[in-house]
Amino acid sequence: MNKEELQNIAFSIINEVGQAKSQALISFDKYQAGEMSKQDALKEIEQQLINVSKAGEHHLSVIQAEAAGGDIPFSVIFLHAEDLYISTTSQIEILIRMLRG
């Protein structure tokens, strides 16, 4: 895997995870403002967790490539994508727990 391929994967993760995070927070804000029911907000936020998990497949492909002996170049952009993926997963899981009570 070359640096350009890794950066393309990173930008894909950043895009997909960023959209999911935004949508989850919008749904939670709408719930708090009384513009969305708890059930609808929970359903939407759970869907965003699924979307984040799909982005995680890109992340996993890089991990698997390295585990198979591939040479993976260092990339700050990929590091950022990993951080965003992990933090967004945690944030969405917390929102779900808050709504479930």
Distance, in Å, from the CA atom of 85 to the CA atom of 91, rounded to the nearest integer, reads 10
- H helices present in the chain, as ranges: 3-32, 38-67, 76-100
Give yes or no: 80 in active site: yes
Catalytic residue among 80, 87, 90, 93: 80
| Residues tagged active-site | 80
